Amino acid sequence: MASRIESLIGLVVVLSIALVVPSAVADGSKVQATVSFGQWQTDPPFDRFTNPNDRTRNQHALIPFEVEIKAGGAVNFIISGFHEPTIYDAGTQPGDINTSQVVTALGFPDLINDSTNRIFRGVDPRTAPTAQDRVESVTFHKPGTYLVICAVHPHFEPTPGTFVMFGFVKVTGKDK
């Protein structure tokens, strides 16, 4: 009797989890990916102990350039330095971004503010030093190839029409 009740409780727990967690997440493979979003350099040596945010020693790249996850999974953006991860809906290309739309603040580079097809924008890196080095984990529910840019204007488009700091998240369908 006791084992029957236990198995019934187990069944209820499993069903409850299935209702809450997308199947891709429960599955385990390709449910998440990590993207290094801006990197500190080591050659020549760089000592952040004494100079925590020397922007001339920061590399402006997404590593890897493209990651693949299943629908329902997440991408963890590990952000080092002054950057602003911003994600556009599937199919958007770098040239589609209107880089003339910006938010400005004295003493900071312009931040691109094109909201067309934008599905995610990270925390404002100008708000506090702690808003710079951080992790932002973002979920993707529909298959497609999503554009991820750094909205710091001189990082994304250092010269007009040349795009540098961006990458893609490829989201595949759930396994049947």
Query: Rule CB under 5 A: which residues touch Cu ion?
Result: 83, 150, 152, 155, 165
**Measured from the CB atom, is 67 or 84 closer to Cu ion?**
84
In angstroms, what is the minimal distance from the CB of 134 to Cu ion? 13
In angstroms, what is the minimal distance from the CB of 104 to Cu ion? 16
**Measured from the CB atom, is 84 or 171 closer to Cu ion?**
84
In angstroms, what is the minimal distance from the CB of 138 to Cu ion? 16
User: Which two three-digit tokens encode residue 6?
Assistant: 């236990």
**Measured from the CB atom, is 118 or 155 closer to Cu ion?**
155
**Measured from the CB atom, is 7 or 104 closer to Cu ion?**
104
Return d(Cα 84, Cα 72) in angstroms, integer.
23
In angstroms, what is the minimal distance from the CB of 72 to Cu ion? 28
Cα→Cα distances 68→26, 120, 157, Å: 17, 18, 25
* HEC-encoded secondary structure of 18-37: HHHCCHHHHHCCCCEEEEEE
